[in-house]
Structure 1
């Protein structure tokens, strides 16, 4: 039974908690999607298909580590109480990983350390979010959770948009022209030939996070320590064991974890490989990918905000279902678009048509809007599945299901891309990239298939469990 007691944190504490999304979203925007990832694939790794494969392995390993440890640490955190010490520890790891991405120089021979830094950044930043999300149910009454989650996601997208404009407008420059998107020379003397503007996305992300995460630590109330930390590992593991044994009998909770595993995996894959795909298949520059990112962040902010209002009115399951259908359609649209084709129909044999670019921009806008809505609603839907005292453990299991997403999605794309790029098949690098992304469609469909078995407590709806 979910605790429905009315409680509310001070307004300053609520806004400070929301600023965590503002602080962290640039990691996803600049590093994972629109600047560093396509730079790594096209310039550091040398070959776009090979870069996509290596990026999949690096982010997959980081996700796998989270998947294996988050339920255990979440249960331990619930046994002791406060979440901020955990957020601080993992934030330090994430910040270090982001700072060290500066060392990814074009055409470097030894890529291993960079892959480690990518995995470390993913591990730290994503784990910090697990514990931050667990603070949400203690801030506002249940009836307001959807709006809170949607507003926070929307604010996060605006943070990602702000940093993307700053990086593309003043730091990242075309190697050919030496000018940024706004026509300026890069600030701080960043060298376009060495792609220092793209590499600076790592340290910039770390600094942004360090500044804007501070209000959460200072002003957002944390729950009191429940018991001594001594013996917390034993108590946490014991509670986790009971939860895992009973989970299959909790149909709604179990179905939600499985469903979200698949649809979030698919969404993460779209975010992770969208810029890489655009660079390799459509031949887009970092500047074009950046414009694509600006559009996706604008629509993502609007989608998260509007989705939060729909969540409050119709419930989170409705929002998740509609968004998943839109994302599935967008995935088909993306895979069917190349420099010469739209929906697998040739529009210009010589690649001279602008229609593929326009279609890809439209798909990106829809992915941003639906992605913002589905992620915000998923947090609310998870809270509906458990008691308040077990919410950190629940977000740990959510991370397990989601990071079985973070590593299954990228790894299946990496394996599929490697398979289709093999010499035996004789496919071009572009065709290998297109076919390598096809597992995403199946993941969305699996998530939709399981969703009807998930119950919501929107407006007092009773759970069957």
Structure 2
């Protein structure tokens, strides 16, 4: 493990960095993927036809806020060497917003939307900031495997939060509680686990970057640095192509992650407990995929690994579309798990190689901007398709596959070595 780390980085610090993935994955697993999304549609929105569209629209608002703020927030963090401080603020916001979801009962649409927007905006901001530490703690030749450590540990964190929720749901249902009674408790459990599991990150992870601006420069330096990046955009054409690729394939991933529980409920007839078991197993396969492919990409190559996983995503779409019953759908879900861990780990590692060392948070902010834009595009495409087709979720999942095809086509134009030379010449 030590041979994979940058000089001066200890194993416990790398573990502390990866523990943030462990901590925040419970939020996406329980709130976005497995529990609160289906609860929002079925209980908060009362099962109305517009429920799925309302859910995807709420997420779109939160992602739009990340899109508008991410590069400027990253530029500010680089200028003032305050990635860790901003990460703490975003963590507190996400924990508080997740706990606030416990107040969203039947019909409480405004409360649910408010706290989803707050928690998901803070989650997205923190996700970009923690990723910006990756090139500082990993050696260049091992950035894929170190990224994989974080993603795999993250899925285990998702398993912990989901397992705790599943245990509580089983106990609550056995005594006759309804979703309106047990889902709020799941939100509190998720918020608490996020807060506790993130403590090692703030205790052990070091801020290695140096301030790039005078202490009294304020926010204006962030705008100046971002304006400089826009002016030099042509110099980073491989990064721009990869961000376009990311926009496409992450749109497909976002649709799957955001709407998996809804698809399982509406198209497959899964119960809440069946859905939780499904997502539990998918998190396990995703952890294995992230860990295994983290090593594969350092040997096979980051771009080749990503191409392989995008082909896997197309296989998943075909299986889910063809599934008439649980067995084939379970297979599709676990193919998605393997590909999810691999593709997300590879994407983060590629950005780490294409980002200039003195502007990591800013460039990871651009990556976050593309990811969050895709998080609007993919789920909104799915939500609009299901609405316009009177609830045809099979058609919606089939259209999702087109995003992976576009991603493969754009990826063919990315030259990683040329992009790395441009980054080091900053």
State the 1:397 CA deviation: 0.4
Return the alpha-carbon distance in structure 1 between the equivalents of residues 215 and 248 of structure 2: 35
Residue 23 of structure 2 aligns with which residue? Answer: 23
Structure 1 counterpart of 2:369, from 400, 403, 406: 400
* Distance in 1 (alpha carbons) for counterparts of 2:254 and 2:215: 35
Residue pairs, 1:261-340, within 5 angstroms: 261-337=247-323
1:151 is displaced (CA, Å) by 1.1
Q: Deviations over 1:224-271 (max 9, x none)?
A: 541434224222212211212322443211101100111112101101
Aligned to 1:296, what secondary structure does the other structure show? helix
Equivalent residue for 1:114, pick from 112, 115, 118: 112
**Separation in 1 of the partners of 2:197 and 2:31?**
17
Contact 2:63–2:375 (CA under 8 A) maintained in structure 1? yes
2-structure distance, mates of 1:204, 1:238: 42
Distance 1:265 1:228 in 2: 39
Going by fraction, where is helix more abundant, 1 or 2?
Answer: 2
Q: Equivalent residue for 2:415? A: 455
Contact kept, 8 Å, 1:31 with 1:201, in 2: the verdict is: no
- Indicate whether 1:434 and 2:402 are aligned: no
Q: Secondary structure at the match of 1:279?
A: helix
Query: What's the TM-score once normalised by structure 2's chain length?
Result: 0.93
Structure 1 length-normalised TM: 0.85
Residues in 1 aligned to 2:56 and 2:171: alpha-carbon distance in whole angstroms: 26
- Aligned-partner SS, 1:453: coil
Q: Structure 1, residues 290-313: CA drift from partner, whole Å, max 9, x if none?
A: 111111011001000011011111
Q: Contact 1:146–1:376 at 8 Å: present in 2 too? A: yes
Which of residues 170, 173, 182 is equivalent to 2:170? 173
Give the CA deviation at 1:72. 1.0
Which runs of no fewer than 5 residues in structure 2 stay unpaired?
none
Pairing 1:147–2:172 present: no
Counterpart in the other structure of 1:357: 326
- How far, CA to CA, are the matches of 2:214 and 2:231 in structure 1? 26
2:193 counterpart of 1:208: yes
Question: For residues 118 and 52 of structure 1, what CA distance do their matches in structure 2 show?
Answer: 14
Match of 1:37 in 2: 37
CA contact (8 A) 2:6 2:136 kept: no
What's the secondary structure of 1:384's corresponding residue? helix
1:107-131 per-residue CA deviation (whole Å, 9 max, x = no partner) reads: x234122112111111011111111
Runs of 4+ in 1 over 3 A off after TM superposition: 436-439, 460-465
Q: Is this contact kept in 2: 1:173–1:192, CA < 8 A? A: no
In 2, Cα distance between the equivalents of 1:8 and 1:316? 25
Q: Is the 8 A contact 2:39 2:179 kept in 1?
A: no
Contact 2:97 2:118 in 1 (8 A): yes
Residue equivalent to 1:138: 136
Q: Which residue is 1:345 aligned to?
A: none
Retained in 1: the 8 A contact 2:71–2:365?
A: yes
Pair 1:294–1:109, CA change in 2 (3 A): closer
Secondary structure in 2 matching 1:7: coil
Gap runs ≥5 in structure 1: 180-184, 186-190, 342-355, 422-428
* Number of residue pairs the alignment of both structures matches: 419
Q: Distance in 1 between matches of 2:52 and 2:61?
A: 14
> Match of 2:46, SS?
coil
Q: 1:161 to 1:85 in 2, by over 3 A?
A: same
Q: Contact 2:78–2:358 (CA<8 Å) still a contact in 1?
A: yes
Shift in Å, 1:412: 2.2
Deviation at 1:461, TM superposition (A): 7.8
1:303 touches 1:373 (CA, 8 Å); kept in 2?
yes
Displacement, 1:457? 4.5
Residue aligning to 1:347: none
Cα distance in 2 for partners of 1:306, 1:228 equals: 43
The 8 Å contact of residues 247 and 253 in structure 1, kept in 2 or not, is answered as: no
Rg (Cα) greater in structure: 1
Report the 3-state secondary structure (helix = DSSP H, G, I; strand = E; otherwise coil) of the residue aligned with 1:172. Answer: helix
Residue 222 in structure 1 maps to residue 207 in structure 2:
yes
